[in-house]
Amino acid sequence: MSDEDVGNAIEEMGDEGFKEAAETKSSKGLSKTLVKLLTYIVGGIIGIILVVTIVVITVKFLDRGDRAQTFKEFSEEYQGKTPPYIYFGMIDQIRTRTADKAPHSVSVKVEIGYNEGDEKLATELTARNPQLTDLVRTYFGSKTAEELLTDEQAIKDELKERINAVLTNGRVESIIFPEYQVFEF
């Protein structure tokens, strides 16, 4: 077919034929895009199903089924339940400096625990309040910041021993610090 024949064919087809040919081309492009989109959607769904399956299998493997977990029971001695103590909180908040070359500030509130019903000890603690306040201040002033920041329980134990060494009518059973701060001055 020559160029002239092509031109005649186009004229014979008219505008409607030309539009029809263009629609056919665009519908082929649209169908390719639709197929691509559907392929991505199906791939995403398969990926999600695969991930969920792997998670379910992993959880079942790690859980090893629906076996109930059992825990060993401990004796009462081992559990370490402490009896309720009465706390003597009359010692004022202590503020002092540590024994460091570049001293730190210490701010501590000490409460002393003793057995319930020990009236003699309660009376002695009240009577020795100024002495106990000085003892606590001296104790914290003799320590370095590093010592005070490393093991709080060891500090409580040592302070309890020092207080018990002063007392004559009973023993302190517990020391707590409702407030305990060591900071650079």
Q: Residue 55 to residues 15, 43, 58: CA-CA distances in angstroms?
A: 60, 18, 5
Give CA–CA dist 128/176, Å, rounded: 18
Please give the tally of structural domains in the chain.
2
Q: Is the pTM of this model over 0.85?
A: no
In a domain, 117, yes or no: yes
Name the residue range of residue 118's domain.
85-184
In tens, the pLDDT along 123-162 reads 999 999 999 999 999 999 999 999 999 889 999 999 999 9
Please state, in angstroms and rounded to a whole number, the distance separating the CA atoms of residues 177 and 35: 72
Q: Are residues 10 and 49 in the same domain?
A: yes
- pLDDT tens digits for 35-72? 899 999 999 999 999 999 999 888 887 776 555 555 56
User: What CATH number corresponds to the domain at position 152?
Assistant: 3.30.479.30
Looking at the structure, do residues 8 and 91 belong to the same domain, yes or no? no
Residue at 79 is within a domain: no
SS3 2: coil
Q: Are residues 10 and 94 in the same domain?
A: no
Do 45 and 94 fall within a single domain? no
Q: Are 97 and 104 in contact (CB under 8 A)?
A: yes
